Every structure is written in C-alpha cells, then in structure tokens.
Amino acid sequence: MQPIKLGVNIDHAATLRQARGVDYPDLAEIAAIAEKAGAHGITLHLREDRRHIQDADVYRLRKTLTTRMNLEMANNPDVVRVALDVVPDEVCLVPERRQELTTEGGLDAAGQLEALRPTVAALAAQGTQVSLFVAPDRRQLDAAAALGAPYVELHTGAYANASGDALKRELDALHEAAAYGAALGLKVNAGHGLTLANVGPLLDIPNLDTLNIGHSIIAHALTVGMEQAVRAMLAAIRR
C-alpha cells in the first residue's frame, strides 16, 4: 500500500491576515515552509465571499508552489473563471453557503449532475484534475464517476465530530466508501476536521491517496511553528 500523502490547507493563515486587513502572514512563505517540511501539496479555498483566500493569492501561489496546488471552490462562475485562468493541478469542487463557518457537508453531486458537468469538462480539458468533496455515500461516488472526475475527497467532518457507537459507524462508512470509490476507478482523498488526535484510525483505510488538513495544523503552528506542525502531522500519518 502506498504511503498516504498530506495536503496542507493554508486558508486560516489567510484568516489571520484578513482579520486585520494587513499583508502578513505571507501565504507564499507559509506554503513554502509547509513544502519544505514535506507537504505533498498545498490546498486553498477561494470562497465566493473571499473571506480568507483572495484572487491575488491564487495567482501568486501558482507561481511559487513547488508541489501541487489544490484549489477548493464552489461551482460558481466567478470562481470557475479564476480556476480556468490559473490552471491549478487539482480543483476540489465543494458546496458553499455564505453563513457557514466552514464547509458543513459534502457536495450533492448526484443532484447537480447537469450543473457540474460543464465545469468538470472545462477543467479536465485544460489538464486540471477534478475532485468532488462528497459524503461517504455510494450515490455521490457514482455521480463522481459519471461526471468523469478522477478524484473524490471524502468529507470526514461527521467522523471528526462523532463519539462512541457513532464514531464506529462513521469510520465504517469511510472504509466502505473508500473501497467502493476505488472499485469505480476513483482516487480517494479525505479531509475535514482532522487532527493529530483523530487521524490515526483513518490510516487503516485502504485506498486513501491524500489527507487534506488545515485548521489543526495552523492552530498547532501557533505554538510550535509551521514547519514542526507539518512534520508532526506527517509523522502521525506515517506512524
């Protein structure tokens, strides 16, 4: 089994910057430190309301990153135009509501096939690999395969927030979804709400390609620094 890769989401370094409307912390520097520490890619979410990552960040990071850029975004025409101009290595299509603090659930790909189809096709035509951020649900995985998306990212938020019997059910659902996705020919990533404390059980799920983790790494970096925070997460997923 191939080692699981780590994608580091730097959105909340931008949250800190935007809180004061200043030009620091420097996202290119934060990303470079994460890459130096061993991150296999950098994730950033260009939201419709631009609450943290800005268009200029996407353009600048496209020039400075030495690993993969994974651009998270809703199927919003304004943001899609940026993705088509920047040509990131990967785009992860996510649901988005302005009033949410963070992405609260998976994309209803099955219910939005016709709306998603032209976006997936346009991104694929320029060489960007498309991922759909979905719940561990066969119906959504079938939809991703029908759209021709090479990746899915399983939403791990329900797992991260569960305890007791519910925790086992959520973990079992992730196991089953990863196996089903692989059987469909999809590459399977996972992410949302993952920390040093809860990432361990996911490592026993076969077929996982990449874990995308952000908030907990940025939070840990406040006490140990960005490089050490990334190295600690890498150590955790390598056991």
Catalytic residue among 72, 90, 96, 153: 72
pLDDT digits (tens, 9 = 90+) for 220-236: 999 999 999 999 999 99
Q: Is 45 a catalytic residue?
A: yes
Q: What pLDDT score was predicted for residue 2?
A: 81
What mean pLDDT value characterizes the chain? 96
| Backbone dihedral angles phi then psi of residue 186, each to the nearest 5 degrees | -85, 145
Catalytic residue among 40, 155, 175, 192: 192
Q: Report whether pLDDT(110) > 90.
A: yes
Average of pLDDT values for 31-57? 98
Give the residues across from 69 on adjacent strands. 42
Average of pLDDT values for 133-143? 98
Catalytic residue among 40, 45, 155, 220: 45
Residue 96 binned pLDDT confidence (cut-offs 50, 70, 90)? confident
Q: Report whether pLDDT(102) > 80.
A: no
* String of DSSP letters for 114-158: HHHHHHHHHHHHTTPEEEEEE-S-HHHHHHHHHHT-SEEEEE-HH
Q: What pLDDT score was predicted for residue 208?
A: 97
Question: CA 183 to CA 202: how far, in whole Å?
Answer: 19
CA 237, 185, 162, 226 dihedral sign is positive
Average of pLDDT values for 133-161? 98
Q: What pLDDT score was predicted for residue 105?
A: 75
Residue 93 binned pLDDT confidence (cut-offs 50, 70, 90)? very high
Among candidate residues 58, 52, 56, 60, the one with its CA nearest the CA of residue 71: 58
List C-alpha distances in Å: 51 to 21, 45, 86, 187, 206. 11, 10, 20, 30, 35
Question: Exposed (0-12), middle (13-18) or buried (19+): which is 1, by Cβ within 10 Å?
Answer: exposed
Using the CB atoms, write b or e for 69-88: b if 16+ within 10 Å: bbbbbbbeeebbebbbebeb
User: Is 124 within 8 Å of 130 (Cβ atoms)?
Assistant: yes
14: part of which helix (H) or strand (E)? helix 11-20
Q: Is 35 a catalytic residue?
A: no
Q: What pLDDT score was predicted for residue 218?
A: 98
Amino acid at 40: H
Question: CA 88 to CA 223: how far, in whole Å?
Answer: 31
Q: What pLDDT score was predicted for residue 239?
A: 80
Q: Report whether pLDDT(89) > 90.
A: yes
Q: Homologous superfamily of 5-238 in CATH?
A: Aldolase class I (3.20.20.70)
Q: Is 72 a catalytic residue?
A: yes
DSSP state of 85: H
